[in-house]
Structure 1
């Protein structure tokens, strides 16, 4: 690759890393936010929900919008939105405003991710696979070090720093992108509204938020359960209407018909939801256990969480070679077994267990995540025809976000108003049951992946 290609890749890499970095740094900030804003655990969990719901909606929509407005324009606009959100979030006068800025930040970083890979594919004509693998390191590496960076920043400053740390990366990416990303050809915005399923997006967003709010209110003690139940039922009704609308519209936000047409693809996405449910339940649960139950500092929590990310990054290239030789099934079965072992290990932890025990559970989930990140992608390619690769990738990302949202929901329902050791033990039992189910699911996976679509 020539020098311009390297600078192009660096500009995109610095931009796309903002989404996984900000989604993972917050895992260490939950106890501090709960303390500063004097809120219960259920309310504070919306700092997680808001980011993933906004990302699930924004990335596919903005990916389509980039075809009309131009990828360079969307990339630069995403950097500007991310800059403004990172600048104003620390000034939030209330938790509600912080959630608003968190949503804005999610939209901005989603704009960058939605077009970053496409920019590299289009404008780099040599060693494209190498470039994409390097960008994947930006994504996985940022997610891996996020808790460590978050713990370090909160320890030396406060939670405000996890937003301000984005600004240098945004500025560097903006300068490089302005100089090295080629300008877009003139494009027309006609048909934008026609090509984007606005009713479907609104039904999906309002239905999901309403249902989550209703379910999270089960353990709430604010005395409005009747109203909360009505909001939850209204959300469920909107999601039913969303399904009905998506099956009828010609340009659906989530092409649900694909699930009926390609059962193997459906099976892959279901497994991916479960995988992310397990992984992110531990990812968001362990830091709160360490800080609130074990009274371990933000800084040391971040260091311990680093074992999760480092194991994941280290295993990914090994997983790639293994899967090339043996296919995805052996790696996915191994990953599911490791998740089951890690979940059982969580149940054995007590309020005075050595921290090395926590690291063993983190390592098991980290190795499984490295295997799953490659194995699930390979399974996706096997189960989807080439002509619908874009649709399959979009559904795959949606499944990822649904798994993360469900993980936060599971923790919120179990913990209620306060994170406790008893709740953490119940969470471990629930994860064990789900992980054993995933192991059994992967035995069934053989039949699905053998139905490769050509």
Structure 2
């Protein structure tokens, strides 16, 4: 941990001696929102994009899956690079790629090019969140603060509840400049990120190395390649499980076995499977993230599309319906953020998801607007609690020297859940989004929510987070 702190410590008289460097907040927050805002803004764009290119929901679903496929692979890879080389270069490169993706998407002449732009967005937005978690852990060690709860809360509010602004922002942009404006918004965001990152994220001095040791020797490229291969096969199967792709699970298992074999023998493994295997609480947190995000994104995409096609709202109106979700989530995160305990948050969050799923069965094509709003108000409670609790769990459970890659893996499991949600939306809605499909989707989400609650109730290790015991950064002797 000392080495990490030494590598990221910026100079300058404005550097606070005993408090979190507030100059880092702006680039941290802006970099972290690039992915969630692109994840959610597309939800109100799917219908007009489908109309523009003559594509059914089963094809436009690839706009969701493409971003998550790239991000699920890229987050832990970029996170590991941040662990090794510091956040500045990775942050700037990713932000620049996000701007390029915005230009390509804005000018896309076909659905295929638009999907390619979403892949670029997925890779470009990979660096923001791992870089932020790396900086938070490093600042905590530098200042001696055992847990910067206020900063973690601000990051959770920014990265998770900002996703809820996406539909409202998307509806506004579509009303002003059409669906292409939802891609163009990345251009000014990337420009601001580049400016703030260059000005405020500290440069990373070269680390001391043994004579003859090249920096590339710290990169486990075979491990990264096998990890990506296993994940691509798995995600392609999840996107179309009934499409005759029976061989993909076989390839996933083969690549997974080869990846494990490689990581057990690598001098500097990409993912230390020994450490991960001995840290069952962290593994359980990743599993909860997957279940939680299945429900969150099934709501975000399925419910939003239903309000447009099944209920008959415009894209702008569908975006405005989501605003109470943002407001409630922000309020809940702010009120509970400084309490370090996570088990209570997860239990209430799981119960809230169950309640929101149950309310979907009451909706029909002629349901009044107040019922649509009631659903998102109830969902706002778990949205504010679960994201905060999952993030804080990783912060306390992960090895401090691998905070970037551990944070990236949290996002990977979250995006696995998002891809499962996208596949479920395509399966239950097919070529037409109606109330019957919404109710079938609700049964699926209800089952996942109950499983999320059961896994949380069974995990007693969560009681240790936020207890009276001293909070020491987790390290692994190597």
Whether these two folds match at TM > 0.5 is yes
* Aligned partner of residue 92 in structure 1, secondary structure: coil
1:13 to 25, 29, 51: 29
1:303 to 320, 327, 334: 320
1:41 to 45, 53, 57: 57
- For 1:170 and 1:381, locate their aligned partners in 2 and report how far apart those are by CA, in whole Å: 27
Are 1:384 and 1:392, in contact at CA under 8 Å, matched by a contact in 2? Answer: yes
- For 1:179 and 1:81, locate their aligned partners in 2 and report how far apart those are by CA, in whole Å: 18
List aligned pairs for 1:409-420, cutoff 5 A. 409-420=423-434
Residues 123, 207 of structure 1: CA spacing in aligned structure 2 closer, same or farther, 3 A cutoff? closer
2:309 to 267, 288, 292: 292
- For 1:254 and 1:40, locate their aligned partners in 2 and report how far apart those are by CA, in whole Å: 39
- For 2:355 and 2:52, locate their aligned partners in 1 and report how far apart those are by CA, in whole Å: 36
Are 2:40 and 2:166, in contact at CA under 8 Å, matched by a contact in 1? Answer: yes
- For 1:270 and 1:195, locate their aligned partners in 2 and report how far apart those are by CA, in whole Å: 28
List aligned pairs for 1:364-375, cutoff 5 A. 364-375=378-389
1:266 corresponds to: 283
* Aligned partner of residue 423 in structure 1, secondary structure: helix
Residues 415, 55 of structure 1: CA spacing in aligned structure 2 closer, same or farther, 3 A cutoff? same
The worse-fitting range, judged by mean Cα deviation, of 384-393 and 153-162 is 384-393
1:162 to 168, 182, 186: 182
Cα offset for 1:155? Answer: 2.0
1:148 to 161, 164, 168: 168
- For 2:342 and 2:154, locate their aligned partners in 1 and report how far apart those are by CA, in whole Å: 22
Are 1:214 and 1:233, in contact at CA under 8 Å, matched by a contact in 2? Answer: no
1:407 corresponds to: 421
1:71 corresponds to: 87
Residues 40, 318 of structure 1: CA spacing in aligned structure 2 closer, same or farther, 3 A cutoff? same
Residues 188, 166 of structure 1: CA spacing in aligned structure 2 closer, same or farther, 3 A cutoff? farther
Deviations 1:346-367 (A, max 9, x none): 1221111112212222122211
Structure 2 length as normaliser, TM-score?
0.81
Deviations 1:293-314 (A, max 9, x none): 1110111111111222221111
Cα offset for 1:62? Answer: 1.9
List aligned pairs for 1:350-429, cutoff 5 A. 350-380=364-394, 392-429=406-443
- For 2:402 and 2:226, locate their aligned partners in 1 and report how far apart those are by CA, in whole Å: 25
- For 2:402 and 2:130, locate their aligned partners in 1 and report how far apart those are by CA, in whole Å: 17
List aligned pairs for 1:99-118, cutoff 5 A. 99-118=115-134
Structure with a larger share of its residues in helix: 1
1:449 corresponds to: 462
List aligned pairs for 1:315-334, cutoff 5 A. 315-321=332-338, 323-324=339-340, 327-334=341-348
List aligned pairs for 1:204-223, cutoff 5 A. 204-217=227-240
* Aligned partner of residue 178 in structure 2, secondary structure: coil
Deviations 1:350-390 (A, max 9, x none): 11111221222212221112111232344445655667656
Runs of 5+ unmatched residues, structure 1: 220-224
Would you say 1:138 and 2:154 are equivalent positions? no
Runs of 5+ unmatched residues, structure 2: 1-12, 466-470, 473-478
Cα offset for 1:172? Answer: 2.5
1:279 to 290, 296, 316: 296
Count of residues paired in the alignment: 444
